[in-house]
Amino acid sequence: MAERSKPWVMRTYSGHSSAVKSNELYRSNLAKGQTGLSIAFDLPTQTGYDPDAPSAAGEVGKVGVPVAHLGHMRQLLEGIPLGEMNTSMTINATAAWLWGLYLALADEQGVDHGLLQGTTQNDIVKEYLSRGTYIFAPEPSKRLIVDMIAYAINHVTKWNPINVCSYHLQEAGATPVQEIAYALATAIDVLDAVRDSGKVQPNQMPQVVGRISFFVNGGVRFIEEIAKMRTFTAMWDEICRTRYHVDDPSLRRFRYGVQVNSLGLTEQQPENNVSRIVLEMLGVTLSADARARSIQLPAWNEALGLPRPWDQQWSLRMQQVLAYESDLLEYPDVFAGSQVMESKVRELTLAARVELEEVLALGGAFKAIDELKSRLVASQADRVARIESGEQIVVGVNRFTETAESPLTSGAEIKAVMTVDPAFERAMIADITAWRTQRDETAVRGALQELTRVAQSSQPGDNIMVPTITLAKAGGTTGEWADALRAIFGEYRAPTGVRAGVAVRGEQFANLVERSKAVTANRGTPPKILVAKPGLDGHSNGAEQIAVAARDAGFEVVYQGIRLSPEEIVAAARDEDVDIVGISILSGSHLALVPRVLDGLRSAGVEAKVIVGGIVPDADAATLLAEGVSAVYTPKDFSLSAIMSDLLDLVETST
Helices (H), 129-271: 138-155, 167-171, 176-197, 205-210, 222-242
Amino acid at 522: N
The CA R_g of the chain, rounded to the nearest whole Å, is 24
Sheet holding 159-160, edge to edge: 13-14, 37-40, 86-90, 117-120, 159-160
3-state secondary structure of 38: strand
Question: How does DSSP assign 449-466, residue by residue?
Answer: HHHHHHHH---TT--THH
Active-site amino acid positions: 13, 167-168, 533, 537, 539
Sheet holding 556-559, edge to edge: 556-559, 528-532, 580-585, 609-614, 631-633
Interatomic CA distance for residues 201 and 243, integer angstroms: 17
CB 624 within 8 A of CB 591: yes
Picking from 596, 586, 584, 580, the residue whose alpha carbon sits closest to that of residue 630 is 580
Picking from 116, 124, 166, the residue whose alpha carbon sits closest to that of residue 143 is 124
Interatomic CA distance for residues 19 and 316, integer angstroms: 22
Question: How does DSSP assign 66-86, residue by residue?
Answer: ---SHHHHHHHTTT--TTT-E
Interatomic CA distance for residues 480 and 444, integer angstroms: 9
Q: Which residues have a Cβ under 8 Å from the Cβ of 615 and sit 6 or more positions away?
A: 303, 304, 305, 586, 588, 634, 635
Q: Classify 173 in phi/psi space as left (phi over 0), alpha (psi -120 to 50) or beta.
A: left
Interatomic CA distance for residues 363 and 599, integer angstroms: 46
Other residues' Cβ atoms within 10 Å of the Cβ of residue 369: 21
Q: Which residues have a Cβ under 8 Å from the Cβ of 440 and sit 6 or more positions away?
A: 474, 475
Amino acid at 326: S
CB 473 within 8 A of CB 106: no
Interatomic CA distance for residues 391 and 381, integer angstroms: 14
